[in-house]
């Protein structure tokens, strides 16, 4: 079929819903629904995407000729899904060129038909979208399936909230266990607990892509303090820093003494502007307490592991340390 050629989409396009396998969690439900749509409503692309507050992240993607891969990220305000969510375009469009708000997205050049159905939490907040795209256009059939596509998204939203509650319960249990993995000098999490938490959080991030960050803090001048005032003064300096970090970090943040005079903060399900504010508070508190430090920060990304995110934050911290010198 040539580019732009009209195509009639059969209606009804779906067999009975019991053909779906059991959906026990959001990730499995997403993959099952994308696979189901790919089989029974053939589009070039079907995907589940995540809105993280600034970007659209592709979480689950059908095999497609558009070269869209899991983890691909696009600026949300430039996407067609954002236009649909804002009410500037219909959720289903058989020919996007007829919808001005959709035609301005040049990242989808060559796309004719387009679907964007919001996936909402139970409180009405936006998690992401069910997104479909195809180079061809069709004058009938696609809109007839909008109600079913919306129902699938509502089911996904329900499964999502159940999964979120389950993940939160697991996280709280893990936090209780982390309390036993404390650094004796500061009372903060030790390196072993930090490593275990990041491993578990990495798995959750791959499923939900909640925004978050890792902050690395390294104290400046420790050698001078130890050499000139003794190790007891150095320990007191480290303890003071630990108290500041524990006081500034919001509930749910994981704060750890990674070793020596280096500390880490892991912030899950936290928007970048909140991280900015936390770093500002930390730096102000350290200055008031006359504790000098260097701070590095890196945000979670589907393109790198949490270990690589940690490395990036560490590298940023050392850049600041060199600048402080």
Average pLDDT over residues 257-272: 93
Intervals of CATH 3.30.450.40 along the chain: 17-164
Per CATH, the number for 17-164 is 3.30.450.40
Coil vs helix vs strand at 121 = coil
pTM here is: 0.71
- pLDDT at residue number 3: 44
Q: In what order do the strands lie in the sheet with 293-299?
A: 254-259, 262-267, 213-219, 293-299
Q: What is the pLDDT of residues 24-51, one digit of tens each?
A: 689 999 999 999 999 988 889 999 999 9
DSSP 18: G
DSSP lists the bridge partners of residue 128 as 50, 119
* Measured distance CA(239)–CA(242) in Å, rounded: 5
Task: For domain 179-324, give the fold.
Answer: Alpha-Beta Plaits (3.30.70)
Q: Which residue shows structure tokens 């709280």? A: 172
The answer on pLDDT for 21 being more than 60 is no
Average pLDDT over residues 61-66: 92
Share of the chain above pLDDT 90, in %: 56
Intervals of CATH 3.30.70.270 along the chain: 179-324
């Amino acid at each position: 079929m040539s580019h732009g050629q009209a195509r009639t989409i059969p209606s009804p396009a779906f067999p009975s819903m019991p053909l779906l396998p059991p959906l026990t969690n959001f990730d499995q439900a997403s993959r099952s629904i994308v696979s189901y749509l790919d089989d029974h409503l053939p589009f070039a692309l079907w995907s589940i995407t995540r809105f993280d507050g600034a970007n659209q992240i592709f979480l689950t993607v059908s095999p497609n000729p558009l070269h869209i891969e899991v983890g691909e990220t696009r600026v949300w305000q430039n996407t067609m899904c954002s236009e649909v969510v804002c009410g500037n375009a219909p959720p289903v469009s058989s020919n996007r060129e007829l919808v001005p708000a959709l035609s301005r997205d040049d990242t989808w050049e060559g796309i004719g038909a387009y679907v964007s159905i919001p996936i909402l939490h139970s409180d009405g907040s936006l998690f992401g979208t069910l997104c479909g795209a195809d180079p061809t256009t069709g004058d009938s059939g696609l809109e007839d399936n909008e109600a079913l596509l919306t129902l699938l998204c509502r089911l996904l939203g329900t499964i999502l909230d159940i999964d979120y509650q389950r993940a939160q319960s697991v996280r709280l249990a893990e936090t209780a266990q982390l309390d036993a993995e404390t650094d004796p000098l500061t009372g903060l999490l030790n390196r072993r607990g930090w490593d275990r938490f990041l491993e578990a959080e990495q798995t959750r991030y791959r499923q939900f892509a909640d925004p978050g960050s890792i902050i690395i803090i390294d104290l400046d001048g420790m050698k001078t303090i130890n050499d000139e005032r003794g190790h007891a003064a150095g320990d007191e300096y480290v303890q003071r820093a630990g108290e500041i970090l524990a006081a500034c970090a919001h509930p749910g943040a994981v704060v750890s003494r990674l070793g020596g005079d280096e500390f880490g903060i892991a912030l899950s399900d936290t928007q970048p502007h909140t991280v900015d504010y936390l770093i500002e508070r930390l730096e102000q508190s350290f200055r008031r307490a006359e504790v000098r430090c260097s701070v590095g920060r890196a945000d979670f990304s589907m393109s790198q592991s949490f270990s690589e995110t940690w490395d990036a934050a560490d590298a940023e911290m050392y850049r600041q340390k060199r600048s402080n010198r």
